[in-house]
Amino acid sequence: MGNSSLNRILKVGLTGGIACGKSTVCELFNELGVPVIDADQIAHELVQPNQPALNIIIEKLGNKYLNEEGQLDRKLLRNTIFNDDPIKKQLETILHPLVYEEIENKITLFNAPYCIVCIPLLIETNALDKIDRVLVVDLPKELQLDRASKRDKVEKSEINKIMETQVDRETRLEVADEIIKNDEDIDKLKAQVANLHKFYTGLARDNRISSTS
């Protein structure tokens, strides 16, 4: 479960496996006026040329992870991560603290009852204490494999390798405070998001009342 402390803004950590529909759910919340932070986007920005994180990565791992344009060779790094656990851990040690620091910086700028923080590896990075509620976008494994394979145009065996690096579906559901089922059409998805929007808005209001009483 998420952190139960009362914060100025309620932080909802959104997570889920590959191709579960996290980005679509984030867009739906955003359409309702909810501020959304994407941890993957932050990580992407942190490793742009001349950014301190990229300099640290190259210093620790070597120039071979730079392409001819001086940018991070993401394909090479991704392949290395899948096959070299020590390098994966080293990269996480560099990036994760910077990502979470930037998330907190962005949250301080929001003027809203609650925000969505999309963190695909929320559980894997032991970051449950950084958010207040855990929202899991859920999908049966076979449907997840099918969607990911079609979306990324790769074999299901490759998707399975990615899924093996993530916590399993059961673990995600165990820590969830709320769950969105994304195994039907977009209208059903919108309805679930709308209901949760009302719930989180009310929860944030109640928390504020409790913290000032």
Predicted confidence (pLDDT) per residue in 77-122, tens digit: 888 887 888 888 899 899 999 999 999 999 999 999 999 999 999 9
Could you tell me if 30 and 61 lie in one domain?
Answer: no
Sheet holding 114-118, edge to edge: 36-38, 114-118, 10-15, 133-138, 178-181
Interval 8-34 mean pLDDT: 96
pLDDT digits (tens, 9 = 90+) for 36-47: 999 999 999 999
Residue 127 zone, left/alpha/beta (φ > 0; ψ -120 to 50; rest): alpha
Could you tell me if 136 and 99 lie in one domain?
Answer: no
Could you tell me if 68 and 166 lie in one domain?
Answer: no
Q: Do the domain assignments include residue 175? A: yes
pLDDT digits (tens, 9 = 90+) for 189-199: 999 999 999 99
Letter for the amino acid at 58? I
Could you tell me if 212 and 136 lie in one domain?
Answer: yes
Could you tell me if 130 and 193 lie in one domain?
Answer: yes
Residue 2 vs residue 117, higher pLDDT: 117
Could you tell me if 125 and 212 lie in one domain?
Answer: yes
Could you tell me if 26 and 121 lie in one domain?
Answer: yes
Could you tell me if 136 and 152 lie in one domain?
Answer: yes
d(CA 157, CA 69): 32
**Residue 5: pLDDT band by 50, 70, 90 thresholds?**
very low
What is the three-state SS of 94-144? HHHHHHHHHHHHHHCCCCCCEEEEECCCCCCCCCHHHCCEEEEEECCHHHH
Residue 51 has pLDDT above 50, yes or no: yes
* 120: CATH: 3.40.50.300
Q: Do the domain assignments include residue 40? A: no
Interval 109-137 mean pLDDT: 95
d(CA 12, CA 19): 20
R_g over Cα of the chain:
18
d(CA 157, CA 165): 13
pTM for the full predicted model? 0.89
Residue 1 has pLDDT above 50, yes or no: yes
- pLDDT, the chain, mean: 90
Residue 166 has pLDDT above 90, yes or no: no
Could you tell me if 53 and 83 lie in one domain?
Answer: yes
State how many domains the chain has: 2
Could you tell me if 103 and 124 lie in one domain?
Answer: no
Could you tell me if 211 and 125 lie in one domain?
Answer: yes
Question: Containing domain of residue 14, as a range?
Answer: 1-35+113-213
Could you tell me if 75 and 128 lie in one domain?
Answer: no
| Token output for 95 | 């990036």
Domain stop point among 67, 82, 109 = 109
Interval 132-141 mean pLDDT: 96
Q: Do the domain assignments include residue 41? A: no
